[in-house]
Amino acid sequence: MSVVEEYQPVFTGKTLDRLREIFTRYPTKAAAMLPALWLVQEARGWVSDRSMVEVGELLGVTPAHVRGVVTFYTMFHQHPVGRNFVQVCTTSPCNLCGAEDVVQAFLEHTGARELGATSPDGAWTVTEVECLGACGFATPVLVNADFVESVTPERVPEIVRKYK
């Protein structure tokens, strides 16, 4: 016997109200795709296949269309990630300024150990990202929605402590 976990819709109450307000901004419902997916990720931390079906139903597009979009944009998580999601910019300008050492420091201090993997306590996932658009503030790091500039390996322990 298998137990199928029942899916709880994201878009109820206030979240649904927010989506309805977003619908007013565009001439088509389908255009609310990115905002709707952001709302899903805000609520669930990632975008599951079932959530794609829900978004598709609300926007009048097929789940396959939603999936094509979700997989195009790197900021949408297709799998659950750690409570704290760290994105370190490692594109050329930051690389010149030592971004790779910053990545190593995060992997070490968070216990995530491997890029893309989640730490055993479920608290951290660390990834490399391409250009965060703050090359003059190398190395920029996004911790969840917080943009942290000029991160050096030395500053990493303090940042990790702050989010623990």
Partner 1 sequence: MPDPNGLVNLTIDGAPVSVPKGTLVIEAAKQAGILVPHYCYHPGLPVAGVCRMCLVEIEKAPKLQIACATPVTDGMVVHTQSRQARDGRMGVLELLLINHPLDCPICDQAGECELQDFTFQEGRPATRYSPAYAKRFNPVEDFGPDVLFVPNRCILCTRCVRFMEDVAQEPVLNVSERGDRAYIGIHPDARLDHPWAGNVVDLCPVGSLLSKDFLHKARAWELDKTASICTGCSQGCNITLDTRDDVVVRIRPRPNLAVNRYFICDHGRMNYRWMNRGDRSEAPLVRQPDGTARAVDWDEALERAAAILRGAGGAAVALISPRVSTEALFLARELLASFEWTGAYQLVMGEEAPLAGVPDLALRAERAPNARGADLLGYGPDYAAALRAAEQAAVVLVLDDPQAAVRPAGALIYLGTVPPEDGSDPGADGTLRSAELVLPIANVAEEEGTFVNRDGRVQRYVQAKPAPGMAQPAWWVLGALGARLGRGTAPASAAEVFDRLAASVPAFAGLSYANLGLGGRVIGADAGVPA
Partner 2 sequence: MGFPHNPHARETVLLSQYFGDPEARSYKGWVKRGGYEALQQALAMPPAAVTDVVKESGLRGRGGAGFPTGLKWTFMPKEKDKKKPHYLCVNADESEPGTFKDREIMRWTPHALLEGTLITMHAIQADVAYIYIRGEFTEPFAVMEQALAEATAAKALGTFKIYLHKGAGAYICGEETALMSSIEGKRGNPRIKPPFPAAFGVFGMPTTINNVETLAVVPHIITHGAAWHKAMSLSSPKSTGTKLFSVCGHIQKPGNYEVTMGFPLKDLVYELAGGMRPGRTLKACIPGGSSVPILNREETERCLLDYEGCVAEGTLLGSGGVIVFDDSADMVYQIMRLARFYAHESCAQCTQCREGTAWTTKILERVLAGQGKMQDLDLLLDLAENMTGKTICVLSDSCAAPVVSGIKKFRGEFEDYIAGRRRAMVA
Comparison of 68 and 136: residue with beta carbon closer to partner 1:
68
Comparison of 42 and 49: residue with beta carbon closer to partner 1:
49
Q: Kindly calculate the radius of gyration of the chain based on its CA atoms and give it in whole angstroms.
A: 18
Task: Compute the half-sphere exposure of residue 103: CA atoms within 13 Å on the CB side of its CA.
Answer: 19
Q: Which two tokens stand for residue 154?
A: 């030395």
What secondary structure letter does DSSP report for 118? B
- 55 to 94: interface string for partner 2, x by CB under 8 A: ----x-x------xx--xxxxx----------x--xxxx-
Q: Which two tokens stand for residue 111?
A: 């216990």
Residues 123-162 that bind partner 2 (CB under 8 A): 129-138, 142, 145-147, 149-150
Q: Which two tokens stand for residue 10?
A: 């994201």
Comparison of 41 and 48: residue with beta carbon closer to partner 1:
48
Give percent helix, percent strand, percent coil of the chain, each to the nearest 5. 45, 10, 40
Angle between helices 99-110 and 156-163 (to 10 degrees): 40
Comparison of 146 and 158: residue with beta carbon closer to partner 2:
146
Q: Of these partners, partner 2, partner 1, none, which one is at the site of residue 62 (CB under 5 to 8 Å by kind)?
A: partner 1
Q: Which residues bind partner 2 (CB under 8 A)?
A: 25-28, 30-35, 37-38, 59, 61, 68-69, 72-76, 87, 90-93, 95-97, 129-138, 142, 145-147, 149-150
